[in-house]
């Protein structure tokens, strides 16, 4: 039996933004001239450089090129109420996906072939939707200048190095918060937490051979065990030291976060209040309707 996902018309980024991301992004927005510097000065050159690189070295997905991926993109964009960016597939051995948008004129998403090889179509759509979350929330506008600040501070001897380290720590913390938000975008697009958690499981230890053998329930149990580490002061210290220099939260933590949010009234109300199904009718509170 097919299931019909709900398109979230009028969906605003702040309505699903993770609280930690919301707080960190508000702080970045208060930096004078930051947004203008990126959109006006850095944007035109960076967009052109990346455009040439993608056209030259990747496959541009469209109606005539990998149409199944193109349809997954369009459906996710419709559900999240966002204009479709360009989608590229790039040959690369490291499973990964990323997005870029400086001025919003030429946004794009790139997915590595090695990631596509371990995911189902539904999981691929979750990855696409995660990257759309970065575009929806305008994350790239703030990530680029902070990276430049780190580079500038690092060129100043002694004090500059200390400043760079402090800025980098703050940046990584913000980036980790932003990832929680984009996992929520993946859930809103797929409307199935098991799909999103399965992606995280495969990113933690998947391969073309192992992926079909992985057990999601066992991975969720593993995530709960990770939570239990925080019950002691030593365990919490070890967790903090392990994650402080990471650009992404650890997969088990991301899985627990999405599991909790999927069960929350906040998520249910968000889908119900914004949802319109493909027949133009209000959505059910659960976000799914049978054909």
- Catalogue the active-site residues: 131
Strand runs (DSSP E) across the chain, as ranges?
3-5, 7-8, 59-60, 86-90, 97-100, 108-112, 275-276, 288-290
Dihedral of alpha carbons 244, 200, 86, 274, sign: negative
Helix (H, G, I), strand (E, B) or coil at 131: helix
Apex 118 CA angle, 112 and 122, nearest 5:
90
* Number of Cβ within a 10 Å radius of residue 252: 21
Q: CB within 8 A of 269, min separation 6: which ones? A: 285
Q: How far apart are CA 126 and CA 254, in angstroms?
A: 14
Query: Do residues 291 and 3 make contact, with C-beta atoms less than 8 angstroms apart?
Result: yes
Q: Is the dihedral of CA 173, 177, 178, 183 positive or negative?
A: positive
Q: Tokens 């493909």 correspond to what residue?
A: 278
10 Ramachandran zone, left/alpha/beta (phi>0; psi -120 to 50): left
d(CA 130, CA 96): 12
Q: Is 160 left (phi over 0), alpha (psi -120 to 50) or beta?
A: alpha
């Amino acid at each position: 039996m097919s299931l019909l996902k709900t398109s979230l018309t009028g969906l605003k980024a702040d309505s699903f933004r993770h609280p930690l991301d919301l707080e960190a992004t508000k702080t970045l927005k208060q930096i004078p001239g930051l947004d203008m510097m990126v959109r006006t000065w850095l944007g035109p050159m960076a967009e052109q450089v990346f455009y040439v690189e993608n056209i030259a070295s990747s496959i541009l997905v469209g109606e005539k090129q990998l149409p199944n991926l193109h349809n997954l993109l369009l459906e996710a964009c419709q559900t999240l109420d966002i204009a479709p960016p360009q989608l590229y597939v790039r040959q690369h051995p490291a499973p990964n996906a990323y997005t870029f948008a400086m001025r919003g004129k030429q946004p794009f998403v790139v997915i590595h072939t090695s990631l596509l090889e371990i995911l189902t179509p539904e999981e691929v759509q979750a990855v696409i939707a995660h990257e759309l979350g970065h575009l929806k929330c305008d994350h790239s506008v703030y990530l680029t200048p902070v990276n430049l600040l780190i580079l500038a501070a690092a060129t100043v001897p002694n004090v500059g190095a200390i400043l760079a380290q402090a800025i980098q720590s703050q940046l990584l913390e913000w980036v980790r918060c932003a990832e929680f938000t984009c996992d929520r975008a993946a859930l809103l697009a797929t409307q199935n937490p098991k799909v999103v958690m399965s992606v995280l499981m495969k990113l933690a230890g998947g391969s073309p051979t192992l992926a079909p053998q992985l057990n999601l329930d066992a991975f969720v149990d593993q995530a709960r065990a990770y939570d239990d580490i925080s019950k002691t002061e030593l365990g919490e210290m070890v967790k903090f030291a392990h994650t402080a220099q990471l650009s992404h939260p650890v997969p088990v933590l991301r899985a627990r976060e999405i599991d909790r949010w999927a069960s929350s009234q906040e998520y249910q109300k968000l889908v119900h209040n914004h949802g319109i199904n493909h027949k133009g009718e209000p959505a059910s509170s659960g976000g799914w309707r049978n054909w």
